[in-house]
């Protein structure tokens, strides 16, 4: 780990990484405030810059607070950006790519501020629409990139044990597995069997994916579409059944690999608690029931539900997961489909907000799952899965987590920009996004299984809170 001196009060590389993380979050907060200023119309009500003199038609107290909040935040973020650049250039050991990237970010920031001034004094039509926001997103992306590279330089290792083509551990090399003992009591055996079938359905995935579908429905209801109790109930029922079907087929298709991995060696099919043919029949039954539930709403929702089952069961489980290091990235489409299903259930079509929400889920998935892949790296290697930590090492994986957190937060801004989401959503994204990013930064320095699990849980908390905020923001405000 690098330990070169940096100017006071920063002093150390971990503190410099903290400064970069704070700068990234500051730029992001400014983006959120700027989007709020634009969407509320407060920006066009104050035609002076940099100060906001009282116009002939006075602003409301809320509008005035938003405008001043935006401009004061711009000053504070500018200080953070300048401090990051100064420390990078004066400190010893900071790489050239970090220095030049931060310098480029400061130039982008100055241009964005200038465009903001022109827009405030001459009107939004004076500059290409969206250019101010685009430059803000670009500045945020550049600072996140510098943060990821600085963390890689400071905490990375070049001598990691990687395996470009991992092979599963042969069955004969596994420790003997004790035969499962079934209770003699019929009631106890029935409970054990019922629990085994429930476990195959992967119920821990259901709450989050149902929240995704609920958020999709809420966004659809924010337009002209109406949301009724039957549509909500049938959509969630169909979603639960499709998740259960996908999980069951995953258990069937990976039963041999599950036996090699500690985290999956107690699954029902590995322990012969459920016969394979019974599991297949159960998966087919769940699939039919899921499609039937969706068909009571509309055919598009049913088609998307079927696509979700096939994608996770066949495309992800059989084609992506065992064969490509990009399995987690491409597999994010499975988690993104419930957003489209929720929207389609209400509108019988696929709209831009639904695609934006699906994009957020898609980008969040690697940032979320790579933490689990780090925690279970050895297990995935035993199973022969080419997960990113196994194939390219833990340093690269931690860096990619930062990349995808940045992309996720940028997509959250895009979702706010094209919808009517308000202050609750914005505050939730900033607060929980900050917690998520900070957990990922800590993971670089601690590099332990508990740190990986903390980042994993922070990612769950981020998405869960954001989805709830979408639902509440749309339906309650």
Which domains are seen in the chain, by residue range? Answer: 13-155 (no CATH), 189-476 (1.10.357.140)
pLDDT-based confidence at 187, cuts 50/70/90? confident
Better pLDDT: 245 or 416: 245
Residues 6+ apart with CB under 8 A from 197: 268, 274, 282
For 28-65, give the DSSP string: HHHHHHHHHHHHHT-GGG---SSS-PPPSSPPPHHHHH
| Contact criterion met (CB below 8 Å) for 101 and 146 | yes
Mean pLDDT for the chain overall: 88
CA distances from 335 to 239, 338, 358, 464, 475 (A): 11, 7, 8, 13, 23
| Contact criterion met (CB below 8 Å) for 423 and 472 | no
pLDDT-based confidence at 44, cuts 50/70/90? low
Q: What tens digit of pLDDT does each residue of 15-32 get?
A: 999 999 999 999 998 888
Structure tokens at 311: 């994608």
Range name among 34-48, 339-353, 367-381 with the lowest pLDDT average: 34-48
Percentage of residues of the chain with pLDDT beyond 70: 88
Given a cut of 80, whether residue 127 has pLDDT beyond it is no
Query: What per-residue confidence (pLDDT) applies to 68?
Result: 72
Given a cut of 60, whether residue 2 has pLDDT beyond it is no
pLDDT-based confidence at 10, cuts 50/70/90? confident
Q: What tens digit of pLDDT does each residue of 357-401 get?
A: 999 999 999 999 999 999 999 999 988 999 999 999 999 999 999
Closest CA to 319 of 242, 310, 251, 265: 310
Query: What per-residue confidence (pLDDT) applies to 426?
Result: 87
Query: What per-residue confidence (pLDDT) applies to 359?
Result: 96
Better pLDDT: 437 or 34: 437
CA distances from 193 to 187, 273, 275, 278 (A): 10, 7, 11, 12
Q: What tens digit of pLDDT does each residue of 418-446 get?
A: 887 888 888 899 999 999 999 999 999 99
Query: What per-residue confidence (pLDDT) applies to 82?
Result: 95
Given a cut of 80, whether residue 170 has pLDDT beyond it is no
Query: What per-residue confidence (pLDDT) applies to 244?
Result: 96
Query: What per-residue confidence (pLDDT) applies to 176?
Result: 64
- Contacts of residues 443-450 at CB distance under 8 Å and 24 or more positions apart, as own/partner, are 443/371, 443/374, 443/398, 443/401, 444/17, 444/151, 444/154, 444/155, 444/398, 445/14, 445/17, 445/155, 447/155, 447/394, 447/398, 449/374, 449/375
């Amino acid at each position: 780990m690098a330990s070169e001196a940096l100017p006071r009060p920063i002093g150390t590389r971990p503190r410099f990484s903290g400064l970069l993380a704070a700068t990234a979050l500051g730029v992001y907060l400014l983006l959120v405030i700027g989007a709020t200023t634009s969407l509320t119309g407060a920006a066009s009500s104050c035609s002076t810059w940099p100060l906001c003199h009282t116009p002939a038609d006075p602003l409301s107290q809320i509008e005035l607070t938003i405008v001043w909040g935006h401009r004061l935040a711009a000053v504070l973020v500018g200080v953070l950006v300048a401090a990051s650049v100064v420390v990078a250039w004066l400190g010893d050991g900071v790489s050239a790519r970090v220095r030049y990237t931060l310098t480029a970010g400061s130039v982008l920031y100055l241009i964005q501020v200038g465009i903001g001034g022109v827009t405030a004094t001459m009107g939004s039509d004076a500059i290409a629409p969206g250019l101010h926001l685009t430059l803000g997103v670009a500045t945020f992306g550049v600072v996140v990139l510098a943060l990821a590279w600085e963390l890689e330089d400071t905490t990375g290792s070049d001598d990691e044990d990687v395996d470009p083509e991992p092979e599963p551990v042969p069955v004969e090399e596994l420790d003997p597995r004790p035969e499962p003992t079934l209770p003699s009591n019929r009631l106890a055996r029935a409970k054990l069997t019922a629990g085994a079938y429930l476990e195959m359905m992967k119920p821990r995935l259901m709450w989050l994916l149902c929240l995704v579908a609920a958020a999709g429905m809420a966004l659809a209801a924010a337009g002209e579409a109406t949301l009724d109790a039957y549509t909500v109930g049938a959509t969630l029922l169909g979603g639960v059944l499709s998740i259960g079907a996908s999980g069951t087929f995953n258990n069937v298709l990976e039963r041999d690999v599950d036996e090699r991995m500690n985290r999956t060696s107690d699954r029902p099919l590995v322990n012969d608690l459920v016969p394979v043919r019974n599991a297949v029949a159960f998966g087919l039954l769940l699939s039919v029931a899921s499609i039937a539930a969706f068909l009571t709403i509309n055919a598009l929702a049913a088609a998307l539900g079927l696509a979700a089952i096939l994608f996770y069961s066949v495309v992800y489980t059989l084609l992506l997961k065992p064969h490509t290091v990009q399995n987690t990235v491409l597999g994010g489409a499975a988690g993104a489909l419930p957003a489209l299903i929720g929207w389609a259930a209400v509108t019988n079509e696929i709209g831009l907000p639904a695609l934006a929400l699906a994009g957020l889920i898609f980008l969040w998935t690697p940032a979320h799952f790579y933490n689990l892949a780090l925690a279970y790296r050895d297990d995935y290697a035993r199973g022969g899965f080419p997960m990113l930590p196994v194939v390219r090492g833990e340093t690269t994986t931690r860096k990619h987590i930062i990349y995808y957190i940045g992309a996720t937060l940028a997509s959250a801004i895009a979702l706010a920009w094209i919808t009517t989401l308000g202050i609750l959503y914005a505050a939730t994204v900033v607060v929980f996004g900050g917690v998520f990013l900070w957990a990922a930064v800590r993971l670089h320095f601690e590099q332990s299984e508990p740190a990986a699990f903390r980042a994993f849980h922070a990612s769950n908390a981020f998405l869960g809170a954001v989805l709830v905020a979408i639902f509440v923001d749309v339906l309650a405000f």
